[in-house]
Amino acid sequence: MDGDMDIKSVDKKHIVGTYNRYDVAIVSGSGARCTDDCGREYIDLGSGIGVNSLGYCDKGWVAAVSKQLSTLQHTSNLYYTRPCAELAATLCERSGYAKALFCNSGAEANEAAIKTARKYSFDKYGRGRDVIVTLRNSFHGRTMATLTATGQDVFHNYFFPFNEGFEYADKDIEQIAGIEGVCAVMLEFVQGEGGVIPVEKEFVTELAQLCRERDILLIADEVQTGIGRTGKLLASQHYGVLPDITTLAKGLGAGLPIGAMLVGDRCADTLTFGTHGTTFGGNPVICAGALEVLSRLDDAALEQVRRKGEYIRSRLLSCPGVAGVDGLGMMLGIRLKDKQAAQVLKDCIGEGVLVLTAKEKIRLLPPLTIGDGDLQEGVDRLIAAIEK
Ligand SMILES: *Cc1c(COP(=O)(O)O)cnc(C)c1O
């Protein structure tokens, strides 16, 4: 292929058509800004779906990754490596968990959580107590088990048969308490793909209590909400609970693929030798980058995430086309009065700002480190698109 190839037509011809891409080919980026193949610049308020937590090509992250890349790129999980061990220790120390398991994506982290819950229950109670309860409107991934776990009917098509042992519930304690044979309840503190909908604190408190009473594992899917996105390292810290299991992915690798499952004392030793594994999990290059992410997200940085989230919220709430803003920290969903989210997104591209949608809302997941100037300009452009 020559340097002048038409990226878009080659992609359309040779990439399996599971994505409906926007008409933009991004070639480079720096901080909160990226540039397309025609030389147009955009302010990115979507961060590659909450992944580029430090923005594009952050200097400290590039240095950490590059150093590790030219030292040792992979060993397999047959051997120890320092970045992997250090990342696990740092995550546990910062979150209050006992142990970590590394994998390569959010769906895989949730698979690990499902397996942990099933085995925890099998070890203590034998077979038959295997139901994973998830909430309606949730999103947990695209593998067969996590697709089944996803509590939205639109996802439960084509790929029959779906997995057994999953039940869906509303945010209703009585309803959940009435389901038989439950080994775990899995939830997002802020439903992301479902439309940026935070769960109520009272529900979480009651759910945590129900789970404790019945020896049911509480699994927090923090694939989107985790790693500072909501203004705390974990969204559970807003709710004052430490779920038995927390899963992480998106923002942890700052652009490289990693998933993690954090387990508390109750199930820290449930998965034993030979019961789970993955070739790429705990890759030292990605772990070195993730360590840089964590070192940057100190209390002061998390405070800035909350402040910047409030700034975005207040700017948008004074905008005539906006009906409301939902979410926590810099995970925000904008309810529109008249315009369709898909149209606003297209108009945003025209204005030079990249955003996301979630259901009927515009969704924002800006880089956590976005500077005030870029943020102000990005929001200006977004408002121009909404009011267009
Ligand atoms: C994105 C997401 C997933 C899936 O993560 P992948 O890395 O795409 O497998 C799972 N749960 C939540 C809450 C997510 O936002």
Contact by Cβ (8 Å): 140, 221: yes
**pLDDT score at 4:** 73
Atom of ligand 1 nearest to the CA of 191: 13
Average pLDDT by consecutive 10-residue portion of the chain (388 residues)?
80 96 97 97 98 98 98 98 98 98 98 98 98 98 98 97 98 98 98 98 98 98 98 98 98 98 98 98 98 98 98 98 98 97 98 98 98 98 97
Q: pTM of the predicted model, to two decimals? A: 0.98
18, 111, 247, 250, best to mutate for ligand 1 pocket (most atoms within 8 Å of CB): 250
49, 111, 224, best to mutate for ligand 1 pocket (most atoms within 8 Å of CB): 224
CB atoms near residue 213 (< 10 Å) = 9
Instruction: At 44, give phi and psi (nearest 5°).
Output: -100, 105
The answer to whether the CB of 106 is under 6 A from ligand 1 is yes
List C-alpha distances in Å: 35 to 28, 81, 201: 5, 36, 41
The answer to whether the CB of 137 is under 6 A from ligand 1 is no
Distance from residue 339's CA to the centre of ligand 1 (Å): 28
Give the Cα separation of 167 and 151 in Å (integer): 8
Peptide bond into 243 cis (omega under 30): no
First to last CA, the chain: 40
The answer to whether the CB of 249 is under 6 A from ligand 1 is yes
Three-state secondary structure along 241-265?
A: CCCCEEEECHHHHECECCEEEEECH
Residue nearest to atom 8 of ligand 1 (CA): 106
Atom of ligand 1 nearest to the CA of 110: 10
154 DSSP assignment: G
CB atoms near residue 106 (< 10 Å) = 28
The answer to whether the CB of 224 is under 6 A from ligand 1 is yes
Pairing relation of β-strands 353-354 and 41-44?
A: parallel
Give the Cα separation of 361 and 42 in Å (integer): 21
**pLDDT score at 46:** 98
What amino acid is encoded at 236 in this protein? S
The answer to whether the CB of 56 is under 6 A from ligand 1 is no
